[in-house]
């Protein structure tokens, strides 16, 4: 063991860090674009259901194992195992989690790099450097590589600072900024002509589309990605929570913040699309659906900002800074999963672990940059569609079936003495044992069997 373990300084410190992990590109990009292409409020409704009923219980499983074991995911799963076989499965699951977190960071770093580049473009335009601006917004190996490297370096520097001086300090600085920029942008966009039509599309559900199986699958996947589940990031953040805190209420706070920010981001993006339409930008594709995914973020919105003249420069800059901040507070949590393992199990200093692991992940990112067409979507699909729900399932099985129920209760009771009489303890164990595994398996089977 290298040195004493870190711990968040307060309840608020944990809430900012863990909601920083949860709130990321998944909320500000993924959620609104999924809502845009899945019937607006219909998707919102299903997402709320999935997040509260399945993702929140799974989040609690990770936080509880983490705080109990006070260790990285590999050590933690071995600790809660009861025999040689489950210890072995625990080790495999832990490694799979760390590798998945690293691969997620490898593609996330590239996307986050684009956000920095797009934040730089309006500034370049202002000073008349149009060639630079078009390089920043045009797709190319060099640009992708340069900004991925910048983003990875930032992530690595924060993580090498440790729990309080790195993760907590930067999450506490960045999360309030994120909220201010987001609310400011919404307030502005809602005053523009066309915005109210977007609000209607977003908030009035087309129930006919709510109960379609594919939509449920998408909503569950989105909820798992958004709450950073399955890969040991929430587990390791949980391991830095003091035993004095009520962990059930902390988990609830994180879930509410995560959902709240996703819903707010929808109030920005979807109305902004209709403002764009009002200004003459095309927002529907050839099949009549709202344009989503990367075209929405990197073509429709910049086209909207262009129609807004000088104000558009400020708004465009603020929007991509918002994206960069959201990405950074998430990427540090991804990096913490493997770094904590190397630090705790192999005894390397935190700084050395951070640089070693970041270098490895950056190499993988570089390979993806140069083989973009073959690897980018493949890595995203493997990690977020398959590995994450599968690992989420494994963690539920560990807490529901392998770990001793009395120990689970004892862990929850630390900081929450009346736990046994609470609704949480009446409902959550059933969810973790039966409801979550069956639901995840169903969704998983549907994905695998197509
Ligand atoms: N929750 C993050 C987002 O919404 C992504 C993430 C996934 C972070 C897995 C950590 C681990 O963008």
Judge if the beta carbon of residue 22 lies within 6 A of ligand 1: yes
Strand partners, 290: 284
Q: Please provide the DSSP assignment of 280-312 as one string.
A: T---B-TTSSBP-HHHIIIIIHHHHHHTTHHHH
Please answer whether residues 58 and 233 qualify as being in contact, where contact means their C-beta atoms are separated by less than 8 angstroms: no
Structural tokens at position 223: 């909820």
Placement of tokens 């981001």 in the chain: 265
The minimum-distance atom of ligand 1 relative to the CA of 330 is 8
User: Which positions ≥6 away from 108 have C-beta within 8 Å?
Assistant: 24, 25, 327, 330, 331, 334
Backbone angles phi, psi at 427, to 5 degrees: -100, -45
CA 326 – ligand 1 centroid, Å:
10
CA 387 – ligand 1 centroid, Å:
13
The pLDDT assigned to 62 comes to 97
| pTM, 2 dp | 0.95
Cα 125 off chain centre by: 31
The pLDDT assigned to 2 comes to 41
**Burial class (CB within 10 angstroms; exposed 0-12, middle 13-18, buried 19+) of 400:** buried
Judge if the beta carbon of residue 228 lies within 6 A of ligand 1: yes
Please answer whether residues 428 and 259 qualify as being in contact, where contact means their C-beta atoms are separated by less than 8 angstroms: no
**Burial class (CB within 10 angstroms; exposed 0-12, middle 13-18, buried 19+) of 4:** exposed
Judge if the beta carbon of residue 383 lies within 6 A of ligand 1: no
The pLDDT assigned to 220 comes to 85
Judge if the beta carbon of residue 233 lies within 6 A of ligand 1: yes
The pLDDT assigned to 219 comes to 87
| Residues belonging to the chain | 450
Pick the residue whose CA is nearest to atom 10 on ligand 1. Answer: 228
The three-class DSSP label of residue 70 is coil
CA gap 55, 34 in Å, rounded: 17
Judge if the beta carbon of residue 100 lies within 6 A of ligand 1: no
Please answer whether residues 243 and 415 qualify as being in contact, where contact means their C-beta atoms are separated by less than 8 angstroms: yes
Phi-psi category of 230—alpha, beta or left, where left has phi over 0 and alpha has psi -120 to 50? left
CA gap 362, 153 in Å, rounded: 9
Pick the residue whose CA is nearest to atom 7 on ligand 1. Answer: 228
CA gap 248, 100 in Å, rounded: 26
CA 78 – ligand 1 centroid, Å:
24
CA 90 – ligand 1 centroid, Å:
22
CA 228 – ligand 1 centroid, Å:
4
The pLDDT assigned to 210 comes to 61
Placement of tokens 């809502």 in the chain: 35
The three-class DSSP label of residue 439 is helix
Placement of tokens 């071995």 in the chain: 78
Judge if the beta carbon of residue 330 lies within 6 A of ligand 1: yes
Where do runs of H (alpha helix) occur along 127-246? 130-137, 141-160, 162, 169-189, 195-203, 213-226, 233-238
CA 59 – ligand 1 centroid, Å:
13
Closest by CA position to 330, among listed 103, 20, 86, 55: 20
The pLDDT assigned to 435 comes to 95
Pick the residue whose CA is nearest to atom 9 on ligand 1. Answer: 228
Judge if the beta carbon of residue 155 lies within 6 A of ligand 1: no
For the four alpha carbons of 429, 230, 41 and 189, in that order, the dihedral sign comes to positive
Closest by CA position to 375, among listed 362, 365, 386, 385: 365
Judge if the beta carbon of residue 333 lies within 6 A of ligand 1: yes
Strand partners, 284: 290
The minimum-distance atom of ligand 1 relative to the CA of 333 is 10
Instruction: Choose the residue to mutate in 34, 228, 336, 383 for probing ligand 1, maximizing ligand atoms within 8 Å of C-beta.
Output: 228
CA gap 308, 377 in Å, rounded: 33
Helix, strand and coil content of the chain, in percent to the nearest 5, comes to 80, 0, 20
**Burial class (CB within 10 angstroms; exposed 0-12, middle 13-18, buried 19+) of 52:** middle
Backbone angles phi, psi at 387, to 5 degrees: -65, -45
CATH number for domain 11-449, candidates 1.10.4160, 3.30.1370, 3.30.40, 3.90.1520: 1.10.4160
Instruction: Choose the residue to mutate in 17, 18, 19, 22 for probing ligand 1, maximizing ligand atoms within 8 Å of C-beta.
Output: 22
CA gap 153, 142 in Å, rounded: 17
pLDDT averaged per 10 residues, the chain (length 450): 76 96 94 83 88 94 97 97 96 98 98 97 93 96 98 98 96 96 96 94 75 80 92 97 96 96 94 93 86 85 89 94 96 98 96 98 98 96 90 96 94 93 94 94 78
Q: Please provide the DSSP assignment of 3-61 as one string.
A: SPPP--SSHHHHHHHHHHHHSSHIIIIIHHHHHHHTTTHHHHHHHHHHIIIIIHHHHHH
CA 277 – ligand 1 centroid, Å:
31
Please answer whether residues 26 and 222 qualify as being in contact, where contact means their C-beta atoms are separated by less than 8 angstroms: yes
**Burial class (CB within 10 angstroms; exposed 0-12, middle 13-18, buried 19+) of 422:** middle
């Amino acid at each position: 063991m290298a040195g004493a373990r870190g711990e968040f300084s307060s309840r608020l410190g944990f809430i900012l860090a863990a909601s920083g992990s949860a709130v990321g590109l998944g909320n500000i990009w993924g959620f609104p674009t999924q809502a845009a292409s899945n019937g607006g409020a219909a998707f919102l409704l299903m997402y709320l259901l999935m997040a509260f009923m399945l993702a929140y219980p799974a989040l609690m499983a990770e936080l509880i194992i983490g705080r109990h074991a006070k260790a990285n995911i590999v050590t933690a799963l071995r600790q809660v195992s009861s025999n040689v076989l489950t210890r072995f499965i625990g080790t495999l699951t832990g490694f799979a989690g760390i590798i998945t977190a690293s691969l997620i960071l490898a593609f996330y770093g590239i996307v986050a790099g684009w956000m920095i580049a797009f934040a730089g473009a309006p500034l370049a335009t202002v000073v008349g450097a149009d060639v630079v601006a078009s390089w920043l917004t045009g797709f190319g190996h060099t640009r992708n590589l340069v900004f991925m490297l910048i983003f990875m370096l930032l992530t690595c520097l924060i993580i090498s600072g440790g729990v309080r001086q790195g993760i907590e300090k930067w999450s506490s600085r960045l999360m309030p900024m994120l909220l201010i920029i987001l609310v400011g942008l919404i307030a502005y966009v809602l005053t523009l002509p066309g915005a109210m039509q977007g609000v209607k599309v977003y908030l009035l559900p087309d129930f006919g589309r709510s109960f379609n199986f594919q939509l449920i699958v998408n909503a569950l996947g989105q909820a798992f990605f958004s709450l950073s589940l399955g890969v040991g990031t929430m587990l390791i953040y949980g391991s830095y929570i003091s035993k004095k805190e009520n962990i059930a209420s902390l988990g609830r706070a994180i879930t509410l913040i995560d959902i709240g920010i996703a819903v707010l981001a929808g109030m920005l993006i979807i109305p902004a699309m209709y403002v764009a339409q009002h200004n003459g930008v095309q927002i529907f594709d050839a099949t009549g659906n709202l344009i989503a995914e990367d075209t929405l973020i990197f073509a429709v919105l910049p086209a909207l900002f262009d129609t807004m003249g000088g104000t558009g420069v400020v708004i465009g800059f603020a929007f991509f800074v918002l994206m960069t901040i959201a990405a950074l507070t998430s990427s540090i949590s991804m990096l913490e999963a493997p770094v904590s393992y190397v630090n705790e199990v192999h005894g390397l200093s935190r700084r050395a672990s951070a640089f070693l692991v970041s270098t490895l992940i950056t190499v993988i990112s570089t390979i993806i940059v140069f083989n973009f067409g073959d690897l980018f979507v493949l890595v995203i699909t493997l990690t977020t569609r398959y590995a994450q729900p599968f690992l989420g399932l494994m963690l539920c099985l560990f807490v529901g079936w392998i770990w001793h129920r009395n120990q689970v209760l004892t862990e929850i009771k630390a900081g929450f003495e009346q736990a046994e009489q609470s609704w949480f303890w009446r409902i959550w164990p059933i969810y973790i044992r039966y409801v979550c595994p069956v639901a995840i398996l169903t969704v998983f089977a549907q994905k695998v069997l197509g």
